[in-house]
Amino acid sequence: MDIVVYGVLFWVFAIVFTMLRSTGRSGSLPATLTKATPALLAAIFAYLTGPSHLFHVLLMVALILCALGDIGMEYNIQVGLVVFLLAHMCYVGAFGVQSTILGVTSLPIIGFLVCLVALFSYVVLYHRYLQTSETQTPLIRAVDLYAITLSLTASTSLLLWLSWGTFLGFLPFLGALMFITSDSLIGIKEFHHRFDYEEPLILGTYYLAIFLLSLSAAVYTF
């Protein structure tokens, strides 16, 4: 799939759903399918762009799971959380396994550890912040587990970037950071307080995350 065609289609569906959600017109089956379409397009892009390699297979599976997670979140947040957890396990597998295949040196390992410690520290602070909510946060342990896995996605994407050495490797890493941003905003919205422009901010950072992570298929051609 041509990257320009993919990008146009991806962002058309992303913008349409963001507008539907922002105006309170989501919730129907067509709207839910529209929400999941960008991630499905990303999976198709990964399949058509990358070779038949374990990295690209895991990437494609992760993106398909993100699409299923999009659907799940519309009906049950716990189901959606589990599906996205599985998606990030695939991301971690893709970035981590490929890094070990390439062979990691001291610099990528140091970068990985520094990133992981920083993100784990963020998870601890984020956990404490959510606990300041006036209402009980019943899913706090599940959120912690998900946040740790998401931290591993970002750290392993950095590890692969530093191991492979390609300049554009920063794009998937940035995508992982956007995922952290989006899901942090979801947690604040669901478990702490509502805020202005929450839907455009959450969906904008989420779709940017999916788009940048999907570019791994084009950036990493092993």
- pLDDT of 57-106, one tens digit each? 999 999 999 999 999 999 988 899 999 999 999 999 999 999 999 988 99
Alpha carbon distance 175, 64 (integer Å): 16
In angstroms, the Cα distances linking 90 to 21, 49, 52, 110, 192 are 28, 18, 16, 23, 29
Highest mean pLDDT among 27-31, 65-69, 129-133: 65-69
**Percent of the chain topping pLDDT 70:** 100
Is 216's pLDDT higher than 80? yes
pTM comes to 0.94
In angstroms, the Cα distances linking 105 to 91, 111, 152, 164, 212 are 21, 10, 18, 11, 25
- The CB density around residue 146, as the number of other CB atoms within 10 Å, is 19
